[in-house]
Structure 1
Amino acid sequence: MATKTAGRKMLLGGEWVDREDRIPVYDPENGEQIDSVPAAAKEDMEYAIQVAEEGAAIAESLTVRERMDILNKAAAYIDERREEFAETIAKEGSKTINEARGEAKRAAETLRLGAEEARRLTGESINFDQMPGNENRMGYYYHFPVGVIAAITPFNDPLNLVAHKVSPGIAAGNAMIVKPATETPLSALKLAEALVHAGLPKKVLTVITGRGRDIGDTLVESSKVNMISFTGGLETGEAIAKKAGLKKLSMELGSNSPAIVMADTDLKKAADSLTSGAFAASGQNCLGVQRIFIESSVYDEFKKHMTKAVSSVKLGRKLSEDTDMGPLINEKEAKRVQEWVEEALDAGGNILAGGKREGALYHPTLLENVPEDATIVKEEVFGPVVMIFPVDSLDEAITRSNQVNYGLQAGIFTKNIDAAMKAARRLHVGGVMINDSSDFRIDAMPFGGVKGSGLGREGVAFAIEEMSEKRIICFKLEDF
């Protein structure tokens, strides 16, 4: 029977431990404390790293079948308790209960993908005799684990983004040290609970709760940590890269996602899709639509559809079945979004919908006429604000889409295959969604960006490649 420890203890080297110093966990909707977790100290992280070295050898020795069974059993554990997981996600974060249910379902799928891909982590033979003088050589390569992987995760997808690091890490035979966001540690602890229940050997996984300033540098600077998988902001990612030293890095650092609306598309469908893409998870989504470029001939018509769609987003309590959007993760973030909107308005922009703050809640907001040098145009807003701009051509839309230092995903709405292919080839991003918003992802696809949006690719099969190394084996045959 699983130990019910989520939200009360942390998993340190496979053991559930407590500490006197604790960090409260609040519901951003009402500011009420819903739980607390241990505040790990530097010594705890040092111990976690030490144990993970032993755990790496244990993880590597697990057979493919054992890795598959553990991940599948953990997925089944989540499925059986999906509502419990969903309520945890919703209460500690910004997601509505319906969004949280979707995340819990996806997390189970992410674990199953890890199980499937574990069996596919194969090598292939190498023709050494392609080079003259090597007729008596033959060989192959195979994948071996990186070793100890540090996984640093954000608050906006507190379960599935942890699963996206832990699942491929375990599938590839690594030991994992997870440092979840301080605001949302409970979901990560519940994932650890599922893996412990599934029979993951001790020392292979640590989920350590604590303040970044106390334990972060110890983790990223350690020479015993072989890889860092980080999801978060660009500034933090750059700081980690400078401190990490010579180790593998995989980083998803956010975006400022564009969408292009051509005159030949169904404008209402495009507006509905883009509204969903802009305001899911209260806009705290690296894939969230932020800038929309519309052909001038249909700009006014599209604006009407978009304004209506944004105004119809229903705010309410996160656990209510009919709520579309809840609060941001805290009032500080809501105030930052408010400041960026006010700066845009002072520079000549105007509000078509929203623009109001109530504590941590910021109403879904649609802006137009915002100048290109405004902060909210150049940077990642990570909040419920989207902007619309008229353009005279697809070329102009692509050029303006590419003008920011981000490139995660983009969307284009058109019935013209040539326009779609032109956008797909010329948008400087990691993914282009045709007739969909940038906010589309399945957990099996390669996911990542260019420029300030990060390094490497997630998506379970692709993350496994990042979390393993290739070893060449060559036989020289004496009598051949």
Structure 2
Amino acid sequence: MKGYMLIGGEKVFKDREIEILFPYDNSVVGTIPDGDEKDAELAVGVALKGFEKMKELTAYDRYSILLKAARILANRSYEIAELLTKEVGKTIKESMGEVGRAVNTLTLSAEEAKRIAGEEVSFDAAPGIKGKVGFYRRVPIGVIGCITPFNFPLNLTCHKVGPALAAGNSVVIKPSENTSLVVIKLAEILIEAGFPPEAVNVVTGYGEKIGDAIVRDERVRMITFTGSVETGKIIMSRGGLKKYAMELGSNAGVYIDEDQHENLDVVAEKVCRGGFALAGQVCISVQRVFVHDSLFDKFIEKAVNFTGTLKVGNPIDESVDMGPVIDVRAADRIMEWIEEAASAGARIMCGGRRVADTVIEPTIVVDVPENVRLFTGEVFGPVIAVNRVSGVEEAIEKVNLSKYGLQAGIFTGDLKAAFKFADKVEAGGIMINEIPTFRVDQMPYGGMKESGIGREGPSFAIEEMTEIKTICFDVGL
């Protein structure tokens, strides 16, 4: 499949191309243009014209177009899911799930287009003020740069583009060079549904060239980014005076309390599914598990037994539960982290082996030292680190031993323990009797500490993607 950039509805090809590979066997899925600064500048210029055209659309127009785009996407579910599996390496079941969520995200964004409102301002609440009435309204900010990741290229792009368009902005999308083809398909669907072609632009290539040019462009009024902490910091240092929404790293922690004896089978399965979904390449994958001393051995036994039932292999096979990681470089790093932890005294209870270049067995490691990268960093691979703790107080302390704070979870029947955990853990989302991997698309989603700033979820993203304009009348009362 020969890919192209989409600028103002026109297909843009380049002599220089980047191959997109199927992570499972490195076969070529297609190519995309290797864009440069001039392509980014062109796309931003076109998006400015698109913003002017977006101003002509009513809230109902934007609602209707987004709803139509959701229907088109739903009708093409399997085609898009197959492309997702080939680009990302996620199983076909996971890909169908992502398409379903993307349809929902666009639908939620459509509904929010009708709800963007302000309210009256009580000017006469200030001393000595009479005869002034007015209100504020939320208005679109202009061109938004959307830099999207490889792991959920469809739904996470919808989480940026859906609210941006719902609010009346135009967008320039820079997808991951690993997973650009499905994003181009999404942009074409949005234009087919009725958005001005100039309002939905996709530029492809490497972040250091084309992404950097979008970030530095003063005409871009906001950057919404999902990716690493390091890249997020670079973006904010180079972008200058504009708005930012940053969904960055995580190493989500979950605590299993001492009263979970009867629920341990269910809890162990949930934890493992949360750690191994998409081969652990989910921002809120379960990575660090803290188990009460009294349950530790039983939990490990049940988790290892469940992990042994998972089928690993070619993600196109509908019977496969877990596929590859995105590329060989990622697999090399994950194996290095496992080996580092083992050398420092951790024990590998299952997995820990490389089945193929990009396929790593789902791995459970116990007694992980707190100074190794498997504990401190974001592994973004199929590895769960399990340590024992004496109770909820120690669990809170251990979960907070992280520069990240995206989501965390606790399994307990003790209401006081649940509230204490929710109050004391430094994370943007706390899941009670659920894994931290849980997310629905309408909830506010984002992190504390180095996990980022701002929130996703269509209604919350729209707040980030609009500005407040205050209007005051002197009516001489």
Asked if TM exceeds 0.5, the reply is yes
Secondary structure of the structure 2 residue equivalent to 1:422: helix
Could you list the per-position Cα deviations for residues 47-89 of structure 1 after superposition, in whole angstroms to 9, with x for gaps in the alignment?
A: 1111111112212331111111111111001100100010010
CA distance in 1, matches of 2:233, 2:36: 24
Could you list the per-position Cα deviations for residues 383-436 of structure 1 after superposition, in whole angstroms to 9, with x for gaps in the alignment?
A: 000011110110000011001100000110011111111111111000011111
Which residue does 2:359 correspond to in 1? 361
What's the offset of the Cα at 1:254?
1.8
Residues 163-312 of structure 1 correspond to what in structure 2 (within 5 A)? Answer: 163-265=158-260, 266-312=263-309
CA distance in 1, matches of 2:208, 2:428: 31
Q: Which of 145, 151, 155 is 1:156 aligned to?
A: 151
The answer to whether the 8 A contact 2:164-2:170 is kept is yes
Which residue does 2:378 correspond to in 1? 380
Which residue does 2:430 correspond to in 1? 432
CA distance in 1, matches of 2:379, 2:474: 58
CA distance in 1, matches of 2:240, 2:9: 27
Which residue does 2:52 correspond to in 1? 57
Superposed structure 1 runs of 4+ greater than 4 Å apart:
none
Which residue does 1:453 correspond to in 2? 451
What's the offset of the Cα at 1:135?
2.5
Which residue does 1:316 correspond to in 2? 313
What's the offset of the Cα at 1:7?
5.1
Which residue does 1:73 correspond to in 2? 68
The answer to whether the 8 A contact 1:150-1:229 is kept is yes
Secondary structure of the structure 2 residue equivalent to 1:61: coil
CA distance in 2, matches of 1:97, 1:7: 22
Secondary structure of the structure 2 residue equivalent to 1:203: helix
Could you list the per-position Cα deviations for residues 224-246 of structure 1 after superposition, in whole angstroms to 9, with x for gaps in the alignment?
A: 11000000001111111110111
Which residue does 2:462 correspond to in 1? 464
Secondary structure of the structure 2 residue equivalent to 1:420: helix
Which residue does 1:349 correspond to in 2? 346
Could you list the per-position Cα deviations for residues 283-318 of structure 1 after superposition, in whole angstroms to 9, with x for gaps in the alignment?
A: 001010000001101111111111112222211211
Which residue does 1:443 correspond to in 2? 441
The answer to whether the 8 A contact 2:203-2:210 is kept is no
Q: What one-letter code is carried by the residue in structure 1 that aligns with 2:113?
A: A
The answer to whether the 8 A contact 1:148-1:175 is kept is yes
Secondary structure of the structure 2 residue equivalent to 1:11: strand
Q: Does 1:415 align with 2:413?
A: yes
CA distance in 2, matches of 1:63, 1:16: 28
The answer to whether the 8 A contact 2:204-2:210 is kept is no
More divergent stretch after superposition (437-446 vs 205-214): 205-214
Which residue does 1:3 correspond to in 2? none
Q: What one-letter code is carried by the residue in structure 2 that aligns with 1:308?
A: N
CA distance in 1, matches of 2:368, 2:212: 39
Q: What one-letter code is carried by the residue in structure 1 that aligns with 2:386?
A: I
Q: What one-letter code is carried by the residue in structure 2 that aligns with 1:393?
A: G
The answer to whether the 8 A contact 1:25-1:33 is kept is yes
Could you list the per-position Cα deviations for residues 129-168 of structure 1 after superposition, in whole angstroms to 9, with x for gaps in the alignment?
A: 1122222111111010111100000000010000100000
The answer to whether the 8 A contact 1:94-1:282 is kept is no
What's the offset of the Cα at 1:41?
2.0
Q: What one-letter code is carried by the residue in structure 2 that aligns with 1:29?
A: Y
Q: What TM-score, normalized to structure 1?
A: 0.97
Which residue does 1:404 correspond to in 2? 402
What's the offset of the Cα at 1:206?
0.6
The answer to whether the 8 A contact 1:282-1:383 is kept is yes
Q: What TM-score, normalized to structure 2?
A: 0.98
CA distance in 2, matches of 1:23, 1:378: 33
Unaligned runs of 5+ in 2: none
The answer to whether the 8 A contact 1:94-1:156 is kept is no
What's the offset of the Cα at 1:370?
1.3
**CA, structure 1 residues 38+105, in 2 after alignment: closer, same or farther (shift >3 Å)?**
same
CA distance in 1, matches of 2:249, 2:159: 16
Which residue does 1:329 correspond to in 2? 326
The answer to whether the 8 A contact 1:179-1:208 is kept is yes
Identity of aligned residues (%): 44
Secondary structure of the structure 1 residue equivalent to 2:107: helix
Q: What one-letter code is carried by the residue in structure 2 that aligns with 1:402?
A: N
